[in-house]
Copies of this chain bind each other. A is one copy, B any other.
Amino acid sequence: MKIRVYYEDTDTGGVVYHSNYLNFCERARSEAFFDKGMTPVLENGHFVARRVNADFYKSAKLGDLLNVKTTLLQMKAASFTLNQKIYKEEEKIFELEILLVYIDFDAHVQKLNSETKELIFSLF
């Protein structure tokens, strides 16, 4: 997943605004679904961030072409954890561990059925 840095991603400090690295990671998660002709909104629910641990190593700037790499760390009954790294050329500039919970359309946590678990395994 390649991501170009545009003006809107930067701030007056001359680099990418800190929370936009989380957006880049979310794009990569969603694109995994889009690539399969799906959306991250499934028949019975969707995923929300429950916990985020992020390290900011280096800054990206206007015009940089970044690369997001996503791996599945853990699967639980109603949630899963991803590791997502952002690279600028060969250098890791950002790393995220994100716990995503599966909720229904009334925002109640629900178990991942086996079909949804298989989907997640196939995506990440």
> Which A residues form the contact surface with B (CB < 8 A)?
4, 6-8, 10-15, 17-20, 22-23, 26-27, 30-31, 33-34, 39-41, 46, 48-56, 59, 61-63, 107
* 24 A/B residue pairs, CB under 8 Å, sorted by A: A4-B27, A6-B26, A7-B12, A7-B13, A7-B17, A7-B26, A7-B30, A7-B40, A8-B17, A8-B19, A8-B23, A8-B27, A10-B12, A12-B15, A13-B48, A18-B49, A19-B19, A19-B23, A22-B22, A48-B56, A48-B59, A50-B55, A52-B53, A52-B56
Residues of chain B contacted by A52 (CB below 8 angstroms): 18, 52-54, 56
A7 to B4, alpha carbons, bound, how many Å? 17
Query: In the complex, are the beta carbons of A51 and B59 less than 8 A apart?
Result: no
Question: How many monomers of this chain does the complex have?
Answer: 4
Complex alpha-carbon distance, A61 and B56, angstroms: 25
Cβ contacts under 8 Å, A53 to chain B: 51-54
Extra A-B contacts (9), CB below 8 Å, given A8-B19, A51-B54: A4-B27, A7-B11, A10-B12, A18-B26, A19-B19, A30-B62, A30-B63, A51-B55, A51-B56
